[in-house]
Structure 1
Amino acid sequence: MFQLCENDLKACNSLINESTTQTSNSQPIVRFNSNGTLKIVQFTDLHYGQNPDSVGPEDDFNSTKVMRDLLQMENPDFVIFTGDQVTGDKMYPNVTEYIHMMLKPVVEKGYKWASVYGNHDSAPNVSRSEILAAEQSYGDLCYTKQGNARIEGVTNYYIPIYGPQKDNATTATENPVMIWWFFDSRGGRTNKSKVPAYVHDTAVEWFRYENRNLQAQWGQLPSFVFVHIPTREYKDMQQTISSNKLCSGLVDDNVTPQEQNSGFMKAVLEAGGVMAMFVGHDHGNSWCCPFKTIDICYNRHTGYGGYGEWTRGARVIVLNITDIGNHTNYVRLETGEITDVFPPKER
């Protein structure tokens, strides 16, 4: 258990200051549009690079087409990748090639994006740092970062989101209107050993103290959480989902949760302001349910790599500045159909 903040307040303040500095940069800030709207498209479990000697190239081509088609249908303001961008354990040491392939539909249209990494994004021939470097080579379009190197995992960071641009307003004179939190649920292997697949205690503690720091600075803001592997609460929820009219979406896969309970969900619930958590990992699930004070949701399996033959798609979140707390989301399938709308009409 990471005890830094309990045992050494000075060191804890240093950790907070370091992580705050690392999450602020010279990139253009993310804002709501002038009409007060903001749309996110989420891609998950693309699994580029799987089976390179057989069906892999065709799968990668189809995955790219799915993303390109969905982006054309939705024209989002921001794109989020929620893990397993590649199948690292089946890959030769050429991961950057696949990351550039994956990002092409996003980069060619100038979309901003951010990522969390999944359990297949680490392997003896693939490192998270290589993937991160490939993403960051695109400069201002990429918001993926390693918020603090002292935290276990790579993609633990946040992005403050601001309201529509006002005349003469700057980040020095205005506050954000919401926060997007990103967490690395780790997993996979390195050259030396297997990596445990859960949000580490250090990331949980970082979140608790960073959130308090931001609340002191900006007040309590609505927020989203993005992570690849679901928590154990998803498994409990799915056991009763068939009789829960407040839920909606595809339920066609087992829930494979994080390997340990580090108190991640407890910290999220206690933080205040968190409206929803979005995960990937289990390809046959794309449901959403209310859980205590937040909504817990699966994204839709986007890639032709990875297991399963479900129709590919992406979860889309629609926000309005006048009522951020009542956000809506749905799944846009590669066929063009809209499904898995949440909240359902019965709610």
Structure 2
Amino acid sequence: MDRLGPRAGRRVRPRHGRRPGRREPRLRGVPRRPGDGEQRPDPQREPVLGPRHLGLSKPWRPVGDGVRQPRRHALRVAARVVFPRRRPAAALPGAADEHAGFSFRGTPRTDLMAAETGANRQLSYSSSGPRELWPGVSNYVLQVHSRRRTRDDDHVPALLMYFLDSGGGSYTEVVSSAQVKWFQSQSQFLNPNGRIPELIFWHIPSTAYVMVGPKAKSEIRKPCVGSINKEEVAPQAAEWGMMDALAKRPSVKAVFVGHNHGLDWCCPYEELWLCFARHTGYGGYGDWPKGARIIQVTEDPFSAVSWIRMENGSRHSDVTLSS
């Protein structure tokens, strides 16, 4: 589905529990240290963590970063973690996807998205988004419906998740004014009264992260929550109104980004939370322990909580995003 109109949000029914008689596929990732700014792909090594580490045995949403190596290979490996377990998934590109500065040839964003959605049509909920927002792709919205819905609320989602391309690589690192207008149009149509909770995902942090985050390499103190703060926030090149648009919507509970591998904190901003994911893959810079940000959403009443699950199975940095 290339083009999204106001009614084109994809519907997702959360899946729960484990399939009996199926063993969890276990992927091993071995770090390879790049030299001289070079990324060294190893087709014999897997660049992502396995389902046990990401909490895929339960209905949680993992958010990770740094799944690099040749892009098509990384997509195939990630797909082997999620899709054989019949888990729906959605993705968006990072700053280095299709980047020409690595030792392997880059793959354009549009080709990456086409490869993912084409090979996993039944379970991939990713989308290239409306063509008028290209060359940025992955601008789309997912409507998550309750498993307990009745005929009366058959078309009313329990949660809305917005995905936006924040640029990078050969594209300017921004969420553009055109994307802001697209978000406002979609959110006004799907959630005019603001009664449905909303979560936002893009890759490169906005300048608001610089404003609210702790000083680089300092202790993370309340109200922020996290475990690593090893570098300065590397924000988008400019702010074109997206944060103002989000701050005006009480229905928006949190924004999730990646990009900085040495950060994993969440900090409050206005009435919402700004969160980093955790460096998940064995590509990219940094040798910090690998993990993933987990988001758990419940309804009746609505609540959203998040934490970091590490590769060794440990859990830390719990934060309540909405209750």
- Report the TM-score, using the length of structure 1 for normalisation: 0.76
Task: Look up the match of 1:7.
Answer: none
Trace 1:134-149 onto structure 2 (pairs within 5 A).
134-136=115-117, 137-149=119-131
Task: Look up the match of 2:41.
Answer: 56
Trace 1:335-346 onto structure 2 (pairs within 5 A).
335-343=312-320
Q: Aligned residue pairs: how many?
A: 295
Task: Look up the match of 1:307.
Answer: 285
The structure carrying a bigger helix percent of its residues is: 1
Question: Does the CA-based 8 Å contact 2:14-2:145 persist in structure 1?
Answer: yes
Task: Look up the match of 1:10.
Answer: none
Aligned residue type for 2:164: F
Shift of 1:33: 6.0
Task: Look up the match of 2:80.
Answer: 104
Alpha carbons of structure 1 residues 170 and 79: separation in structure 2 relative to 1, 3 Å: farther
Aligned residue type for 1:140: Q
Task: Look up the match of 1:3.
Answer: none
RMSD: 3.1
Question: Does the CA-based 8 Å contact 1:23-1:158 persist in structure 2?
Answer: yes
Alpha carbons of structure 1 residues 147 and 220: separation in structure 2 relative to 1, 3 Å: farther
Give the secondary structure class of the aligned counterpart of 1:104: helix
Corresponding position: 1:203 with 2:188? no
Q: Distance in 2 between matches of 1:135 and 1:67?
A: 18
Q: Distance in 1 between matches of 2:147 and 2:9?
A: 21
Corresponding position: 1:246 with 2:223? yes
Task: Look up the match of 2:107.
Answer: 126
Alpha carbons of structure 1 residues 133 and 34: separation in structure 2 relative to 1, 3 Å: closer
Shift of 1:263: 1.0
Aligned residue type for 2:128: Q
Task: Look up the match of 2:238.
Answer: 260
Deviation by residue 1:324-343 (Cα, 9 ceiling, x = unmatched): 2x321110000111012114
Alpha carbons of structure 1 residues 100 and 176: separation in structure 2 relative to 1, 3 Å: same
Alpha carbons of structure 1 residues 18 and 255: separation in structure 2 relative to 1, 3 Å: closer
Q: Distance in 1 between matches of 2:6 and 2:33?
A: 37
Corresponding position: 1:234 with 2:209? yes
Corresponding position: 1:68 with 2:31? no
Superposed structure 1 runs of 4+ greater than 2 Å apart:
17-24, 31-35, 48-56, 60-64, 76-87, 95-98, 122-125, 239-244
Alpha carbons of structure 1 residues 109 and 170: separation in structure 2 relative to 1, 3 Å: farther
Corresponding position: 1:185 with 2:166? yes
Question: Does the CA-based 8 Å contact 2:32-2:40 persist in structure 1?
Answer: no
Q: Which of the residues 148, 160, 175 maps onto 2:143?
A: 160
Give the secondary structure class of the aligned counterpart of 2:91: strand
Alpha carbons of structure 1 residues 82 and 206: separation in structure 2 relative to 1, 3 Å: farther
Alpha carbons of structure 1 residues 337 and 160: separation in structure 2 relative to 1, 3 Å: same
Alpha carbons of structure 1 residues 140 and 49: separation in structure 2 relative to 1, 3 Å: farther
- Provide structure 2 residue ranges, at least 5 long, that are not aligned to the other structure: 18-28, 101-105
Question: Does the CA-based 8 Å contact 2:66-2:261 persist in structure 1?
Answer: no
Q: Distance in 2 between matches of 1:279 and 1:166?
A: 31
Aligned residue type for 2:187: N
Give the secondary structure class of the aligned counterpart of 1:98: helix
Q: Distance in 2 between matches of 1:80 and 1:202?
A: 28
Shift of 1:81: 5.5
Q: Distance in 2 between matches of 1:102 and 1:255?
A: 27
Alpha carbons of structure 1 residues 228 and 222: separation in structure 2 relative to 1, 3 Å: same
- Report the TM-score, using the length of structure 2 for normalisation: 0.81
Q: Which of the residues 277, 289, 296 maps onto 2:255?
A: 277
Question: Does the CA-based 8 Å contact 1:23-1:159 persist in structure 2?
Answer: yes
Larger mean Cα displacement after TM superposition, 313-322 or 241-250: 241-250
- Provide structure 1 residue ranges, at least 5 long, that are not aligned to the other structure: 1-16, 36-45, 190-194
